[in-house]
Amino acid sequence: MKSLEAELETARSLSVATLADSIESIGFDCTRCGACCTGEDDGEHTATVFPDEVRELTGEGGESPESEAQSASESSTDRDWRDVARPMPYGLSEGAGGLEGETFEWALQTDGCGDCSFYEEDDAGVGACTVHADRPLICRTYPFSVALAGTSQPMGEAVDEAGVVRAHECEGLGREIERDEAEELATALKERAIRELEEAIAVRDAYEPADPDPGEVVVHDSEGAKRVDGTPLETGVDRT
């Protein structure tokens, strides 16, 4: 198996044009069905979000011109870390007071139904993302992923593959896509693959066992160990 560093170099060398060719050959047009934003029968919606993407959604990372055009009621500045992200559930166990233990990375926050907290449906049942301008890379690129070790796979089984591009379960697959849209998706897909591998390497290099107390959750990301509210946790010391 290639090292993460070797996979990162592969990701950096990916051709956007070739990725776009693959996306075109598979075909895609979003139907706004909401399946990629809602929970599955066996659990909550789980989508990886990077620390800087969390800050973007809380308003700490600055806003793009597109996001600045959103209405004041959709402003991200009223959100805190826990409004945006929750600990990735994998590796955590159920304790007396809820989940506890150590995990890696963050997932987008969910509502009481297990759906992404930023997903809304109108009266006609058409879904929409309320933070569309600042949505994370995994959302920008769904239903596609790059078949490289160390990159994350979104929810839904891979049902098609062209080159290094995998397509995951989505009713929008197989539909005609314009070349400029395919290139935009391909650009984001390459960026995501690079970011995921950079994050994986940084998590590996920064990891120190935290030995959390009962009832405590510690999340390890590329910036180190954090509490559930995103604040840093000092590791390697006696915290009693």
Tens of pLDDT along 77-96?
589 999 999 999 998 999 88
Instruction: Decide if 236 is inside a domain.
Output: no
Across the beta sheet with 85-87, what order do the strands follow? 48-49, 106-108, 85-87
Instruction: Decide if 105 is inside a domain.
Output: yes
Instruction: Decide if 233 is inside a domain.
Output: no
Question: Structurally, how many domains does the chain consist of?
Answer: 1
Residue 71 confidence (pLDDT): 40
Percent of all residues in the chain with a pLDDT value above 90, rounded to a whole number: 69
Residue 2 confidence (pLDDT): 84
Write out the residue range of the structural domain in which residue 29 sits. Answer: 4-226
Residues 166 and 28: beta-carbon distance below 8 Å: no
Amino acid at 123: D
Higher pLDDT, 19 or 212: 19
Query: What is the average pLDDT across 119-136?
Result: 88
- Highest average pLDDT, of 32-41, 43-52, 65-74, 150-159, comes from 43-52
The pTM (predicted TM-score) of the whole model is 0.86
d(CA 178, CA 130): 25
Instruction: Kindly report the average pLDDT of the chain as a whole number.
Output: 88
Residues 170 and 29: beta-carbon distance below 8 Å: no
Instruction: Decide if 234 is inside a domain.
Output: no
Instruction: Decide if 212 is inside a domain.
Output: yes
Instruction: Decide if 78 is inside a domain.
Output: yes
Q: What is the DSSP letter of 110?
A: B
